[in-house]
Structure 1
């Protein structure tokens, strides 16, 4: 596991969460230090997406406490929650881009929360911000595509535009919810390698939910596996045997046969 500096950017203690009478998360304790890349794995319905949404206050816990970058989302005012979310980047499976707009304008939209007035067109954004947006596109290998409509880009390219948009926020923590689920294997590796490199270069913690065992082991510093709303495995990726991680899925499958 890499040498991590700084304190915890995320601390969940005794978290319980349910919907419609069903338990989704049950007794979750999880601490993530600054700069660590955590792969959150487990079968569908294990509670991965719910856990990520608790971190930035999209959901609130029924019991337990969440500390995200030192703040409790449940105790934040609307203004404080907006400020917290500005420090937490979120990369979704479905990209969330505006297809008719260029890659550059989609990246610039990541700064809208910090601007006083709505913007229409690339040139309505401050020059310094435009330059930063191009820098972020360059970091994900897409500076040459900055004026191309996003709906003409491949899925992997679109997801990298989404990563660049997140980076424009200058986040201290990045949450990624199945960011490569809809991508082919080559594009998946490229997107995750990009996130991994940026995490290492900038010291940004990443918590990334994944289904692909091989990608979790090859990308992450640490693997946390959920099953039926509980953490059943939490180990450094470098020393975790693949068969132990695969068993998390196989045991669930066996119970449903």
Structure 2
């Protein structure tokens, strides 16, 4: 039997591995697959974690990360890519260099610097390198509340603060960069603003609001959103449509979140199957 090559969109995730399957690389690949996009990967770190938390983190070498990216791009090619947890300054520098050298387009940067609870995940030097070298190459960045505070220098406590922060971040990074939009995520907010996201592309300021889903099982929502945006870009959608459709996907996946383990479970990436 012989097979013929087919034209299928390819997406690349450059992120960490979550052994519990709730976030990181595993979530990205599931999201790509749901959107009928072939998922490829470059692992930056390996975590031992479950629904209760992270037990251990082991970083890949920067050379190993580079080799993975090149192996994918030089042979298979990618229509869109995303970054998640890059862990340290050395890996961030390596990834930024490869994005430039390989001319990777449609880059979605989820600036994993601070958790949704406010805990800083990478050191200050790594944050500075992320801001200076990688973020300017992104088509869109998707900071959460606390990351947006770092990037804007503004304390965020309400929707108006999110809107102002989105404008400040865009203006700070859009000069001499390829960044087309900023999406400030409201998953870490409270009250009526919880789950509300703010988009700004230099011209349009939009508030993305869907139904609130009450569930404790929200692990991996940020990864899922950025992966869905990436998949939609790989499919050829424009940036605004990619974001809007990704937001709807995450809301549906939250509605079918998985109550597994003893802690915070993940969203249900294949929710049509769960309906059955």
Q: TM-score range by the shorter chain?
A: 0.3 to 0.5
Which gives a bigger RCO, structure 1 or 2 (Cα 8 Å, sep 6+)?
A: 1
TM-score by length of 1: 0.33
Structure of larger gyration radius: 1
